[in-house]
Structure 1
């Protein structure tokens, strides 16, 4: 206990890391970090570093574990052996099994499991670096991974913890406050304020407990805004990519239209040439027809000339009459 600080809160109301009693540590999230997972999230909260991955919904094996009316949620919380200063034994422990159970139950009222009967949704939360509040950090990362995977949910789940140091309630405990504080109350809730996880370690009065719940709700609201902003940034980038793709499509379509226009022009010129050739042929045919008409007219004129030739008429006076008497 030699490294225990004398005071956790100074005269100005500031904690060891310079925060107020109702402030959370700086948080950064990034989703879609694992290409082979259906959904993933990397979270940094203070010195905590957590990676969450979601696989599913997928068929559950063995079949005897399947639920006929809903999907099964499996949650695995694990701390890497190098996540703390003193190397821990790798593999599941009683603590990790207990945190996995309560974290799974924190998501069951939110995830619409009835849409996937007989399926399983696997959630893996791996703590790469621990600095107090790892269970709540893992829940926040897992909630974002579920959203990234497109799992239908009633809303996001946000988690935070309230502790008691120097006789005063503080939000989002850091490592010294978690190790040497008088109480630790981790809590998870939905976006509508429904509490899905509530644990307590330490002693607080009834009035302090009510204040702790309200203070934790405020912290969860702050985390919810960060979660929403992270999702918004991702979809904004996707929209920008789609818009750029549409612009490229427009350029391609314009190129296609210009090509078609040029082809139509070529076809028009070819049609004009064909029309001109047809006109020339028609002109030749007209000339030949005129020649034929003229030849016919010449023949008619020649016949007319023949008709106009005077043919001598027979004169009865010149013709000798037979003398009947002579006969």
Structure 2
């Protein structure tokens, strides 16, 4: 990644953000009454929808995840996304509370502009909480890259396409436990630490945003029950 392509002389990115700045996040919960839990999120121009069914009686797997849309056989990217989501939420959901039960999480990217996996994780976190399923912590996910030695948080699609090293982190913020860490290329330890720190700070900033969404939803539900 050549820094001049990603950062201006004043230190701004092409979309006007500072290196550590998140894209604008909008989210809401309870978007589908027929699901046990659901949520919609926008991170910049990336838009994701998640729905949760369960816990219900065990059928094929103790925990399953995938995309709601039908996908062609051999769609490797969708398969990898499903596997990563499964690993991520197995680390966060208190599955021992539901023996012989199944939880289904379905996600769909409605519009892609970078950070697709991260948007899916953040939407799924809100949907799982909307379903009332106990978790160890929020799961917050964000990407990071490098413009030469300057770490960039929450990469947009043009930044991802620039071809430099990219890191994706799913974090449980309270404990600092890493649910998933993925690298697109090898990095020297110092550069890895810088990118990881940028992604971690972004995850903690996302946690504050998601927590506000959950609290707003709780107030909304409490008000409805009080009427």
Could you tell me whether the CA contact under 8 Å between 1:7 and 1:166 is conserved in 2? no
Aligned twin of 1:26 = 24
8 A Cα contact 1:132 1:175, kept in partner? yes
Please state how far the C-alpha of 1:235 moved relative to its aligned partner.
1.5
Higher helix share: 1
List gaps (5 residues or longer) in structure 2.
none
- What is the match of residue 63 of structure 2? 73
User: What is the count of residue pairs matched by the alignment?
Assistant: 225
Instruction: Give the 3-state SS of the residue equivalent to 2:38 in structure 1.
Output: strand
2:9 aligned partner = 11
The structure with more strand, counted as a fraction of residues: 2
Unaligned 5+ runs, structure 1: 67-71, 82-88, 246-327
CA distance in 2, matches of 1:26, 1:128: 17
- Bigger relative contact order, structure 1 or 2 (CA pairs below 8 A, ≥6 apart): 2
Runs of 4+ in 1 over 6 A off after TM superposition: none
Contact 1:165–1:177 under 8 Å retained in 2: no
Query: Quick check: which has more Rg, 1 or 2?
Result: 1
Of 144, 147, 160 in structure 2, the residue corresponding to residue 165 of structure 1 is: 147
3-state SS of 2:10 partner: coil
CA contact (8 A) 2:167 2:184 kept: yes
2:3 touches 2:147 (CA, 8 Å); kept in 1? Answer: no
Query: What is the correspondence of 1:233-272 to structure 2 with a 5 Å cutoff?
Result: 233-243=216-226, 245=227
> Per-residue deviation at 1:73?
1.4
Distance 2:58 2:38 in 1: 20
Q: Is residue 48–residue 130 contact of structure 1 (8 Å, CA) maintained in 2?
A: yes
TM-score, normalization: structure 2? Answer: 0.92
Residues of 2 paired with 1:24 and 1:91: CA distance? 35
Give the aligned CA root-mean-square deviation in angstroms.
2.0
Paired with 2:222 and 2:23, the residues of 1 have a C-alpha distance of 31
Q: Deviation at 1:92? A: 5.9
Q: Could you tell me which residue of structure 2 aligns to residue 283 of structure 1?
A: none
SS, match of residue 187 in structure 2: coil
